[in-house]
Amino acid sequence: MNNSIISAQALAAALITFGSLADESCAALSAVGDIAFTSWTSDSGNPGGENFSFIALADIGVNQSIFFDDEEWDSSTGFGGSTSEGVIQWQNTEGSIISAGTIITLSSASSNDSTNPSSNFGTITEPDTGFNLASIDGMFAYLGSVRNPTTFLAGIGDADSSSGLTSLTGTELSLGLTALDTDGAVSIEYSGPRSGLVEFPDYLSLINDASNWSTNSTLTNLPVGGFNTNSFTVIPEPSSAFLLGLGTIGLAYRRRR
């Protein structure tokens, strides 16, 4: 009977390991709301004045890219392709998964800035030059390729400006849930809760509620100022593999008795 217990314990451990490996192999952004913006600085007249950050609400796979586009969107024609707008490509080049809850910062994110763009994780390139954020601007984050989104992840900007979030039709984004109306603000950051919820997507409605944002003028003075990079956390729940393992061990113990 002791062998049965040992076998059950080994099976439980194997199930837990398999579950972890499966989670790692499948980790990747894939759906609307898998990220959310957590800061926005659109002071294009100030060197170092165009910075933003976002939270990963799902794991980001190794080498996965996100495109940030400040062009206006039209459901009929897509992105207009204006030569005055640009695209930033951020890529996870860390060599490992970036876990959900992590804040990723993009500093000096503009073609007009004398300082090269930088990030606390991954690397930044500008495949379409002209990226430049203004107070009445808008920005979309998406998967796919330059000006060819396959999945919109998040949006941020002035919802009342023709240069901002002009239209969300066809993006599956919605104001107050997966897109934030900045209402012409220049330097703001999410200041709401970062803990206490059960799942990371539960934070979406909090993050995209403008009442949970506040002015942070230091964002326009990076690297003197800085982002709030405190990670978001969730209330831990037992994994299904762990629960199955406990059940297997319990069954073996009952058989022994």
CA-CA distance, 234 to 226, in Å (whole number)? 24
Report how far residue 177's alpha carbon sits from residue 206's, in angstroms, rounded to the nearest whole number: 8
Question: Can you give the pLDDT at residue 223?
Answer: 58
Burial of 171 per CB tally in 10 Å (0-12, 13-18, 19+): buried
**Residue pair 29/67 in contact by the 8 Å Cβ criterion:** no
Quick one: pLDDT at residue 149? 97
- The answer to whether 187 touches 41, Cβ cutoff 8 Å, is yes
Q: Is residue 191 classed as helix, strand or coil in its secondary structure? A: coil
Largest Cα separation within the chain, whole Å, is 76
Distance CA 128, CA 194 (A): 34
- Asked whether the whole model's pTM tops 0.85, one would answer no
For the chain, 257 residues long, give each residue's pLDDT as a single digit of tens.
454 444 445 444 444 444 444 444 457 999 999 999 999 998 877 767 788 999 999 999 999 999 999 999 998 889 876 667 899 999 999 999 999 999 999 988 876 666 778 899 999 999 998 888 888 999 999 999 999 999 999 999 999 998 899 899 999 999 999 999 999 999 999 999 999 999 999 999 999 999 999 998 888 765 555 899 999 999 986 655 555 555 555 555 455 55
CA-to-CA distance for 92 and 229, rounded, in angstroms?
A: 17
